[in-house]
A and B are shown apart, each in its own frame.
Chain A
C-alpha cells in the first residue's frame, strides 16, 4: 500500500501512511542472529579450506585456508550490519532493491560454509559446488520455462515431470541408435511435445481437468518408459541405451575466468541453449506480439477472443512448444550428463520445476533464480554429505521445499497466477 489520500466522512482529506513493512527486517535479523550465535560466537575450532581451483585450470589458484571461527564471526557481523540497514530502510519506508537479499544470501551461505567446513578438516570445493548447482538446475530451468509458457497461456501443466522423463528417454534411445548425442538433442523436444499434444487434446477438446490429465500423463510416461526400459532397452543395451555425452564446448576467454567462467562457459550446448531460451523468453513474454497474445489468452480469454485472437489455437500451440522445451530439459539427464537412461530418472524434478515457476512468480527471470536456488541447495547438500558436517543432509535438502511452501503461503511475497489458467475456454 502506498501513501494515498482518502475522504473521511467529515470531508477533510487525511493522509494515509503505509505501515512499516516489518516482514523482511525480521527475517534478516533472525538469520543474522542465527549466524552470529552459531557460526560466530559458538563457532567451531579449526580451519576451513575453500578450494577454488579445479584440475584443468590454466593457472592454479591456491586454496583459501581460513579460521572457521574468525571467518564466521566476521561474516555474521556483516550480516548483523545488513539486518540493521534493512531495519533503517524499513522505518524510512524505502525499498532496498533486489541486490540486497542476494548479497545477504551469499554472505549467509558463506558464513555457513565456513562453519560447516571447520573442524572436520574437510575441503569445500567451491567450483565443484557451483558447477553441481548449475547442473542440477538445468532440467529445472527448462521445466520451469515450459510450465511458465503453459500457464501464461492458460493451461496448467503438471505433466512437466512426464515431459522431462520422455525427453530423457527419447534422447538416450535416439542418440544411442544413431551413435550421436546431437541426434538425441533433436529427438528430445519431440518427446516433450508429444506429451503436450495429449495434454492439450484432453484439456482443450474434452475440457478434462488439467491437473488430472497432468498427473495421469506423468504416470503414463513412467509406465511406458519403465516398460520399454525393462524390455527393449535391457535386451540390447548396446544398441538402444549406450551412453552418449554431449561434448563440452568451452567459450574462449570467458571460460578462463576463475570460478564463474569455468562454471558458466565451459558447458555443453544444452546449457548454452538454456541461456538463450531464458533470455529470449524474458524478452518475448513481455515485449512481443506473441507474448502479449499469450498473456491475454491466459488472463482474459474472452477479451482476447473479442479482438480476434484464436484462444484455443494459441493455447495449444504455446503448450506444445513449451513441451518441446521441457523435452530438451529432459535430455540433460541422459545425453547432457553422459548417462544411459535409467528408470524414473527425472525423480520428481518436474514438480520442483513447477514450484520454481511459482516461486519465480511466472517470470522467466524469477523462475531462473528459483530453479538455481533449488539446484544450489541440493548441490550444497551433496557437498556437505561428502565432507561430513553436523547438519543432517536431509534437513538441508528439505530447505527449498520449505521455502517454496512459505513463498506460496505469501510470506515471501504474494504470488498471483494468470487469471484464466486451468479454465477451458468455450466460445458462447
Chain B
C-alpha cells in the first residue's frame, strides 16, 4: 500500500497547469489578426505592379505605380486584418493590438518621409532598397508580437532590401517583385494555412 497514485496525479496536474499558464501567456501577448489571405493578395498586386512598373526605378512611372500599389496594399491589409479579427474574435484595440500598431506603423511614417526626401534629392534609384528595408523593419518589429512566421517574413524582406542596396546591377523590379510579391505570397500562404486564415 505504499505506492499511492496521488503523486503521479499531482505531477501530471502540475505539468498541465504549467502548460496552461504558458499558452495563456502566449495567446495574451500575441497579435493573431495578421491575415494570410490578405497578405497573399498583396503579393499578387505587387507582382502586377512589378510587371507594370518596369525595371528602372528612376522613372516617374515606376514611382507612381509603386506608390499606388502601396496604397492599394494598405487598403487590402486593413480590410483583411479587420475581417480576420472579426472571424477569430480578436479585439483590434486590445493591449496587444495597440502594441502591434505602435511597433508596425512608425517605419511606415519614416518611409513616407524618406520617399519625399529621396525624390527631392533625386535618389530615386535607392527607393526600392529603402522601401524594402523599412517595410521589413515594420513587419519584423510588429511581428515580434505576432505568430513566429511574421518576424521571419520581415527579416526576409530586409535581406532582399540589403541585396537591392548592394547589387545595383540587378533590376529593381527583381527585388521589388521578390520582396513584395513572392515573399508575401509564400508567407501569406503559410499564415493562411497554419494560423487561422
Q: Do A and B come from one complex?
A: no
